[in-house]
Amino acid sequence: MKQIACPVALHPDGATRRIAVYQDPTGGLKLAHTITPSPQDAAGKAARLLFAMSALETRAALPIGTLATSSQMWHFALCRIVPPVREQWKHLHADAGTLLHWTWMPLGAPLAGLGPADTSALAWIRSTL
C-alpha cells in the first residue's frame, strides 16, 4: 500500500477555516501531498513538502490521523503556518520545475474541482477538524 504524507495548512488568521490548495497545471485544484517512505516520518515530510511546493513556513507539524483507501494510506499533519501569508500567490516548485498557483479554500466550500483522491482527503480533513 502506498504511504502518502499530506500537510493540512490552515490559514493562520483563524477567522474562517481555510486550507491551502493549488491549481494543478493539468487542471483542477489539489492538496499538497507526496509519497513517504514511512508513516513515522510523514509529519516531517509533509512540512518539508509544503515549504518546497508553496513557500509556506511551518512552525510545527502534528500528526492528526490517517485515511485508508483501496490503494493508499494517507497520513495527515496539521501544519502551523508562520504569518503573514498572502491570499493568493505563485511559487516555483523546485523539484518539479513547475510554477504553482496557490490560494486559500474555505473548508466548507463545495468540493467541485478536486480529483477523487483529494476529495476523499478533504472530506476526511473536514470531518476531523
- Which domains, ranges and CATH numbers included, belong to the chain? 2-128 (3.90.79.10)
Q: Which residue matches cell numbers 495527515?
A: 76
Q: What is the mean pLDDT of the chain?
A: 90
Cα gap 112→79, rounded to integer Å: 24
pTM to 2 decimals? 0.90
The reported pLDDT for the residue numbered 82 is: 92
- 120 or 25, higher pLDDT: 120
Handedness of CA 91, 83, 88, 73 (dihedral sign): positive
Q: What is residue 76's predicted lDDT score, i.e. its pLDDT?
A: 96
* For residues 14-39, average pLDDT: 86
Is it the case that residue 47 has pLDDT exceeding 90? yes
- Tell me the pLDDT band of 6, cut-offs 50, 70 and 90: very high
* Whole-number Å distance between alpha carbons of 27 and 24: 5
